[in-house]
Amino acid sequence: KQEVTQIPAALSVPEGENLVLNCSFTDSAIYNLQWFRQDPGKGLTSLLLIQSSQREQTSGRLNASLDKSSGRSTLYIAASQPGDSATYLCAVSIAAGTYKYIFGTGTRLKVLA
């Protein structure tokens, strides 16, 4: 059974710091991996999606990498800002066409001004 883990559960950093969020999954047979941001009391906003054939995706200050063989993905945030404070979730799709995603429990990030 696929399990997705995100460590740490919470993280506080000073503004301007570069940081890395981790996502681990137990079964390397994934179709894609998606990173989301969730603000308190809000829905999920898609940040980046990496297909299983890709190694990384970039959007602005965000870079997500995928290493299927080791069951890991990282989300790199450059020059963090207070507005980056949110919970970051990763989810893996276990097979094409099944539309079943398994979510991690998230990392709650606080960027201090």
Partner 1 sequence: NAGVTQTPKFQVLKTGQSMTLQCAQDMNHEYMSWYRQDPGMGLRLIHYSVGAGITDQGEVPNGYNVSRSTTEDFPLRLLSAAPSQTSVYFCASSFSGGVYEQYFGPGTRLTVT
Query: Is 87 within 8 Å of 108 (Cβ atoms)?
Result: yes
Q: How far is the CB of 15 from partner 1 (least distance, A)?
A: 28
Cβ distance to partner 1 smaller for residue 52 or 63: 52
Closest distance to partner 1 from the beta carbon of 34 (Å)? 6
Q: Shortest gap between Cβ of 70 and partner 1 (angstroms)?
A: 21
Give the CA angle between residues 49, 2, 89 to the nearest 5°.
40
For tokens 């894609």, name the residue.
32
User: Residue 35 class from Cβ within 10 Å (0-12 exposed, 13-18 middle, 19+ buried)?
Assistant: buried
Q: How far is the CB of 46 from partner 1 (least distance, A)?
A: 6
Q: Which residues bind partner 1 (CB under 8 A)?
A: 4, 31-32, 34, 36, 42-46, 49, 51, 89, 91, 93, 96-97, 99-101, 103-106
Which of residues 28 and 32 has its CB atom nearest to partner 1 in the complex? 32
The first and second tokens of residue 104, run together, are: 């991690």
Residue (7 or 79) nearer to partner 1, CB: 7
The pair phi, psi for residue 28, each rounded to 5°, is -75, -5
